Amino acid sequence: MNNFFVNRIILIAVLIIILNSSIYATISLTKNEKNWIAENDYVRIFVSDNNAPYEFRNNQGYLTGINIDLLREIFTKIGINVIFSSEKESINQYDIITTLNSQLIEKKEFAATKSIYQINMSYISHKNDKDISNYSAIYLMNQNQLDWVTTNENNNILISQFQNVQDVFYAFEKDTSGLMLIDNFFFWQLNELINKEKKQPYIFKNIKEKDIKLFITKDKPLLYNLVNKSLFQVYLNNTFKKIYDKWISDSNKEIFYHKNIKQFYILFALNVMFVLLIIGLIIRNFYHENDFVKIIREKNLKLSNINNELNFAKQALIIAESKSKDVLDHIDSIAITVDLSGKIVYVNSIVKNILGYTSDELIGQNLSKIVPDDSKKLIAIFYNQADRAKQGTDEIIIPSKDGLSKIFIYSTQLNKQLDGNYTINCILQDITFRKSLESRLEAYTDHLEDLVKQRTQRLRDSEERFRLVVENSKSGVFLLSENKILFCNSAVFKLTGYSSDELIDNQLSFHKLIFEDSYSSYQREFSLYHQSKESVVTMDLIFVTKENKQFSAELILSPVIYNGQRVELGIMRDVTEKKKIEKENLEKERLSILTHFAVTANDRINSPLNAISGYTELIDSQIENKNSLLKNAISNIYLSVEIIENIMKKLKSLSRITIKDYKLDNLKVFDLDEDVEKYFPASEEKNNGD
């Protein structure tokens, strides 16, 4: 192929480009049209809001659809903004109304454009019959456009509307006398449903057609011109096809039809040819390039790739080092690297917090800076451990900068460098605080152990005292649960004569220890005590021993908790001797009262007796010539006084007890000895002297 021919082809291509540019360029405008556009900021278009997919309001509330996108393209080419609205109240204020709302307007006021495209409708039927009057129902989508499709078809026919193709089809499927009416736009969805059916329905395609136009207000003839010009550009650019494809699947392309499509195909074919020509030229040039240049280019490309990879690796290495350093600087242990001479190659920044040295102070220095005396020894330890690859937990002590001894455990690793020398990586974990805590914990544990020992001893002593008290008590002490003795001291054995084996945890009922005459009293008292939940009850009972001897005892019961259960703590005290003493005291008291009465009565009777005898003497002295009867009477009075006097003397001689403060008729009986001593102390001395 010579250069001349190639240049010609290039020239033709340039011409085609120029031609295409003129075709695809924006529309040419007259001066008036330009002025009109300059004077008007926007155009108001009234669209429907429920005619998916043509004009509808989406889930976000925005007006969208095929017509909306198409109108945007039209007015983009004109160069004017557009406002879409579905508000019906101000219909006359709109500049343009689409066909889907045309029934709302007075057409005299609006001028229609040419058809932009067509919506085609098809019937789907269970039978091969196109006459609608033979059907009882029509099932269709919920779209306004269908109103005019079905108007006046059959007034008696039932029209059922649904939200989607599936629902329409399922309703139609159940009704054999029903007819389904569907926009071809949805045919691709319908095909999927029909293909699942065993019996294929009849499809009467394109039985209804609707031209989609724009109605432009007659008040704005320039707008009408502009829209028509722009529509022509839209046809040329096949804009509607692009928009339509956006809204429909590829399987449904055939349902779109437009009479201008042929023009589009011609232009499209020219474009394809042009592109093929350009590609051919590029291929030609490519194959005629020098092979050497090609090789150099490939090598350069490879070299460039290698350089890129190298740079990437370097960058990754820097990042990794930075991260490692960052990690080491944030651990709470000292990370240190030394060579075999003890020179510190690296130490992380935490060393400042632990030992007081900064990293910069230490790096490059010898270990002897921080362990002057033991640096060689420390290197040997690190080396030996690292050489054995041992992860040790041995402890070492390193002084801090301010002289405090810090305790560390360490682990080491031996590393061979690229130059063949070895370094030792060592992690030193500061356990000083932990050791201090351990020490305190140990001391505290010792203290606790001492406390336990002391309290155990106290408890033991307490138990011993308790045992001594209980075992040496003369009173019987026992625990009673449901008439069984759980425990008792030796005094109970002595009192009852029973042995430990017979009493404790045995079948011998406590009741058997109580004498039968006392048993009802015991039952009554115990029942009252138990029911009233009194804290203690005391009873005087008679008990019987194993040898059937009776003894009086005071029984005291009080509730205690033993092994989580209520039992009675009993105290049994032998009161036989006490009863005997009480009886004697009672007798003494009775005798004392009697004696005292005798003494007092003697005193109180002697005075009137003295009066009787005195008056008798007076009478006796006053009557000089007494007859025998009077003499005998006076003699008998003297005799009677003497008899009473003798009785009183005998009564008085029963006892010589002197009773103080004994009152009879408010009269105090005095102790004469005390009174004499009180008033006449000298007389006592005198008597003693005598």
Partner 1 sequence: MRKKKILIVDDEMVMRAMLRDYLSMFDYDVITAENGMIAWEKWNTNSPDILITDINMPIMSGLELLYKVKSLAPEFPIIIITGVNVDQARKSAADSRADAFLAKPFKMAELAEMVKVFLRN
Q: Which is nearer to partner 1, 346 or 597 (CB)?
A: 597
User: Pairing between strand 81-85 and 42-46?
Assistant: parallel
Q: Are 122 and 205 in contact (CB under 8 A)?
A: yes
Handedness of CA 249, 251, 255, 256 (dihedral sign): positive
Q: Is 679 in the site for partner 1 (CB under 8 A)?
A: yes
Phi and psi, residue 257, nearest 5° = -140, 140
Q: Which is nearer to partner 1, 228 or 658 (CB)?
A: 658
Q: Is 675 in the site for partner 1 (CB under 8 A)?
A: yes
Please identify which residue in 602, 634, 640, 651 interacts with partner 1, judged by CB under 8 A: 602
**In DSSP terms, which residues pair with 488 in a beta bridge?**
478
Of residues 645-664, those binding partner 1 (CB under 8 A): 645, 652, 658
Q: Give the range of 105-113, 223-231, 541-549, 608-616 binding partner 1 by CB under 8 A.
A: 608-616
Q: Is 669 in the site for partner 1 (CB under 8 A)?
A: yes
Q: Give the range of 510-518, 541-549, 574-582, 681-689 binding partner 1 by CB under 8 A.
A: 681-689
Q: How far apart are CA 349 and CA 351, in angstroms?
A: 5
Q: Which is nearer to partner 1, 527 or 636 (CB)?
A: 636
Can you give the length of the chain in residues?
690
Q: Is 607 in the site for partner 1 (CB under 8 A)?
A: yes
How far out from the chain centre does Cα 363 lie? Answer: 51
Q: Which is nearer to partner 1, 441 or 667 (CB)?
A: 667
Note if the bond before 53 is cis, omega within 30 degrees: yes
Residue with tokens 């089809």: 169
Max distance between CA atoms of the chain, in angstroms, equals: 217
End-to-end Cα, the chain, rounded Å: 190
What b/e sequence results for 310-344 when a residue is b if at least 16 CB atoms lie within 10 Å of its CB, and e otherwise? eeeeeeeeeeeeeeeeeebeeeebbbbbbbeebeb
Q: Is 613 in the site for partner 1 (CB under 8 A)?
A: yes
Q: Are 394 and 410 in contact (CB under 8 A)?
A: yes
Q: Which is nearer to partner 1, 70 or 599 (CB)?
A: 599
Say how many CA atoms lie within 13 Å of 80 toward its Cβ: 27
At 601 the three-state DSSP class reads helix
Q: Which is nearer to partner 1, 400 or 640 (CB)?
A: 640
Q: Is 611 in the site for partner 1 (CB under 8 A)?
A: yes
Query: What secondary structure letter does DSSP report for 340?
Result: T
Query: What secondary structure letter does DSSP report for 50?
Result: E
Q: Which is nearer to partner 1, 292 or 679 (CB)?
A: 679
Please identify which residue in 16, 381, 486, 641 interacts with partner 1, judged by CB under 8 A: 641
> Shortest gap between Cβ of 689 and partner 1 (angstroms)?
12
Nearest to 465 by CA among 473, 453, 454: 473
For the beta carbon of residue 494, count every other beta carbon within 10 angstroms: 13
Q: Which is nearer to partner 1, 24 or 670 (CB)?
A: 670
For the beta carbon of residue 687, count every other beta carbon within 10 angstroms: 9
Please identify which residue in 395, 614, 631, 650 interacts with partner 1, judged by CB under 8 A: 614
**In DSSP terms, which residues pair with 477 in a beta bridge?**
571
> Shortest gap between Cβ of 684 and partner 1 (angstroms)?
7
Q: Is 670 in the site for partner 1 (CB under 8 A)?
A: yes
Q: Is 617 in the site for partner 1 (CB under 8 A)?
A: yes
Q: Give the range of 166-174, 495-503, 529-537, 672-680 binding partner 1 by CB under 8 A.
A: 672-680
Q: Give the range of 25-33, 109-117, 168-176, 598-606 binding partner 1 by CB under 8 A.
A: 598-606
Q: Are 132 and 154 in contact (CB under 8 A)?
A: yes
Q: Is 62 in the site for partner 1 (CB under 8 A)?
A: no
Q: Is 676 in the site for partner 1 (CB under 8 A)?
A: yes
Q: How far apart are CA 153 and CA 305, in angstroms?
A: 74
Q: Is 599 in the site for partner 1 (CB under 8 A)?
A: yes
Residue with tokens 């404790």: 504
Q: Which is nearer to partner 1, 459 or 654 (CB)?
A: 654
> Shortest gap between Cβ of 607 and partner 1 (angstroms)?
4
Q: Which is nearer to partner 1, 13 or 644 (CB)?
A: 644
Q: Is 683 in the site for partner 1 (CB under 8 A)?
A: yes
Q: Is 673 in the site for partner 1 (CB under 8 A)?
A: yes
Q: Which is nearer to partner 1, 221 or 681 (CB)?
A: 681
> Shortest gap between Cβ of 645 and partner 1 (angstroms)?
6
Radius of gyration, alpha carbons of the chain: 68
Q: Is 507 in the site for partner 1 (CB under 8 A)?
A: no
Q: How many residues sit in the footprint of partner 1 (CB under 8 A)?
A: 39
* Amino acid at residue number 10: I
Please identify which residue in 32, 305, 610, 632 interacts with partner 1, judged by CB under 8 A: 610
Phi and psi, residue 480, nearest 5° = -120, 130
Please identify which residue in 3, 22, 565, 621 interacts with partner 1, judged by CB under 8 A: 621
Q: Is 603 in the site for partner 1 (CB under 8 A)?
A: yes
Q: Is 668 in the site for partner 1 (CB under 8 A)?
A: yes
Please identify which residue in 615, 626, 650, 654 interacts with partner 1, judged by CB under 8 A: 615
> Shortest gap between Cβ of 636 and partner 1 (angstroms)?
16
> Shortest gap between Cβ of 631 and partner 1 (angstroms)?
17
Q: Give the range of 324-332, 393-401, 469-477, 673-681 binding partner 1 by CB under 8 A.
A: 673-681
Nearest to 181 by CA among 158, 211, 212: 158
Q: How far apart are CA 232 and CA 104, in angstroms?
A: 27
* Amino acid at residue number 475: S
Q: Is 636 in the site for partner 1 (CB under 8 A)?
A: no
Please identify which residue in 618, 643, 647, 654 interacts with partner 1, judged by CB under 8 A: 618
Q: What is the DSSP string of 279-300?
A: HHHHHHHHHTS-HHHHHHHHHH
> Shortest gap between Cβ of 661 and partner 1 (angstroms)?
13
> Shortest gap between Cβ of 634 and partner 1 (angstroms)?
13
Cβ partners under 8 Å of residue 115, min gap 6:
211, 212, 213, 259
> Shortest gap between Cβ of 608 and partner 1 (angstroms)?
6
Q: Are 170 and 163 in contact (CB under 8 A)?
A: no
What b/e sequence results for 448-474 when a residue is b if at least 16 CB atoms lie within 10 Å of its CB, and e otherwise? eeeeeeeeeeeeeeeeeeeeeebeeee
Q: Catalog residues that contact partner 1 under the rule CB under 8 A.
A: 599-600, 602-615, 617-618, 621-622, 641, 645, 652, 658, 666-670, 672-673, 675-676, 679-680, 683-684, 686-687
